[in-house]
């Protein structure tokens, strides 16, 4: 008995890839016959509906990280307690640890969605377990979930501030809101820089991610140009983490691993720049009629900068010189101000 041919995936078949016409060259490189594309627009609502499976996985990951962080606090092996000894009371600060856990799942989802985005806009490997429309939908749903995870991370941090405030409910709520969500509102220690960096990531992620759903109004080209800057959101997220995360506060293998995880992103970004899916984005060997000399030089500079970043990442990982603080000799006393 022969197996019937695999049925087309219904959700994928009903979707229109983001830029059908422009991605035609990329799609035609995929094995198999080209599917007809019914003109049904992907909406925010349809993507939100499709977001629950990877959203659920994200929640499970968050729960697992939370348990791990909680156990480490209880066992006094967490560097969060070294940095802030008053946090040794695991039960008293559970919201803070949950906020940290959401921070990690947010970063992981941001990492994943950037990888997917670069696979879509750069040279796609010949064999991928998912079809192009499915890959694209996963990119969109993981992006939506990243925004939700960052929001949960920030909200829980704010909620912890409210819980530990001795002021009246109204004033505690107002102060927590300002400290969490208003740039410059948090005015002490490393947080003076790290919190606005995190806020910038969140506030940029929202328009750069969601403009996709109104691209027919702003024009696909405008959307594409704006969406490119989403890499800035990712860089800000990693910067915020390495600057402020107390679990990566000190140098060591975990902090170095966070650096290491940036290598695949940088490599895929370089590939995407060198071999973009859209032929029109390819950098000509010399400034020709299509590009101005300055524009060409800038684009070349961008590619060289990514090579520089890759070299820097390799140096950090190989040398272990990861910018972390040195663990204080007495592990229970903080020598640094986290605030």
- Binding residues for ligand HEM (CB under 6 A): 80, 100, 103-104, 106-107, 110, 150, 153-154, 157, 180-181, 195, 198-199, 201-202, 237, 240-241, 244-248
User: How far apart are the C-alpha atoms of 207 and 209, rounded to whole Å?
Assistant: 5
**Closest distance to ligand HEM from the beta carbon of 169 (Å):** 21
User: How far apart are the C-alpha atoms of 324 and 322, rounded to whole Å?
Assistant: 6
Would you say 130 and 66 are in contact if contact means Cβ atoms under 8 Å apart? no
- Beta partners for residue 325, in sequence order: 250
| CB nearer ligand HEM, residue 46 or residue 151 | 151
Mapped onto helix, strand or coil, the DSSP state of residue 296 is helix
Write the burial class of residue 326 (CB in 10 Å: 0-12 exposed, 13-18 middle, 19+ buried): exposed
**Closest distance to ligand HEM from the beta carbon of 103 (Å):** 3
- Give percent helix, percent strand, percent coil of the chain, each to the nearest 5: 65, 0, 35
Mapped onto helix, strand or coil, the DSSP state of residue 250 is strand
| CB nearer ligand HEM, residue 70 or residue 181 | 181
**Closest distance to ligand HEM from the beta carbon of 323 (Å):** 14
**Closest distance to ligand HEM from the beta carbon of 110 (Å):** 5
**Closest distance to ligand HEM from the beta carbon of 48 (Å):** 19
Would you say 114 and 234 are in contact if contact means Cβ atoms under 8 Å apart? yes
| CB nearer ligand HEM, residue 131 or residue 241 | 241
User: How far apart are the C-alpha atoms of 3 and 94, rounded to whole Å?
Assistant: 53
**Closest distance to ligand HEM from the beta carbon of 20 (Å):** 30
The distance of Cα 255 from the centroid of its chain, to the nearest Å, equals 17
| CB nearer ligand HEM, residue 135 or residue 242 | 242
| CB nearer ligand HEM, residue 124 or residue 255 | 255
| CB nearer ligand HEM, residue 132 or residue 156 | 156
Would you say 197 and 210 are in contact if contact means Cβ atoms under 8 Å apart? no
């Amino acid at each position: 008995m022969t197996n019937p041919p695999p049925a087309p995936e219904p959700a994928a078949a009903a979707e229109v890839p983001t830029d059908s016409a422009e991605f035609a060259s990329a799609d035609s490189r995929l094995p198999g016959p080209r599917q007809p594309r019914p003109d049904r627009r992907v909406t925010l609502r349809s993507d939100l509906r499709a977001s629950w499976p990877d959203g659920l996985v994200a929640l499970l990951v968050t729960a697992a990280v939370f348990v791990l962080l909680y156990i480490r606090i209880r066992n006094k092996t967490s560097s969060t307690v070294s940095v802030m000894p008053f946090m040794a009371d695991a039960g008293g600060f559970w919201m803070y640890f949950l906020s940290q856990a959401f921070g990690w799942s947010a970063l992981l989802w941001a990492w994943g969605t950037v990888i997917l985005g670069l696979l879509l806009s750069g040279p796609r490997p010949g064999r991928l377990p998912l079809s192009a429309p499915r890959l694209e939908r996963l990119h969109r749903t993981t992006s939506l979930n990243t925004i939700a995870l960052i929001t949960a991370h920030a909200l829980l941090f704010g909620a912890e501030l409210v819980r530990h405030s001795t002021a009246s409910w109204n004033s505690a709520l107002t102060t927590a809101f300002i400290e969490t969500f208003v740039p410059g509102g948090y005015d002490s220690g490393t947080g003076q820089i790290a919190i606005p960096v995190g806020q910038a990531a969140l506030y940029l992620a929202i328009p750069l991610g969601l403009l996709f759903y109104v691209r027919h109004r702003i024009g696909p080209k405008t959307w594409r140009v704006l969406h490119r800057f989403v890499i800035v959101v990712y860089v800000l997220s990693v910067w915020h983490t390495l600057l402020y995360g107390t679990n990566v506060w000190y140098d060591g293998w975990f902090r170095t691993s966070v650096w290491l995880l940036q290598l695949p992103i940088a490599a895929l970004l370089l590939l995407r720049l060198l071999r973009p899916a859209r032929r029109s984005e390819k950098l000509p060997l010399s400034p020709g009629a299509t590009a101005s000399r300055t524009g060409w030089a800038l684009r070349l500079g961008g590619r060289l900068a990514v090579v520089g970043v890759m070299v820097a990442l390799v140096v950090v990982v190989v040398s272990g010189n990861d910018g972390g603080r040195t663990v204080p000799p007495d592990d229970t006393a903080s020598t640094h101000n986290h605030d």
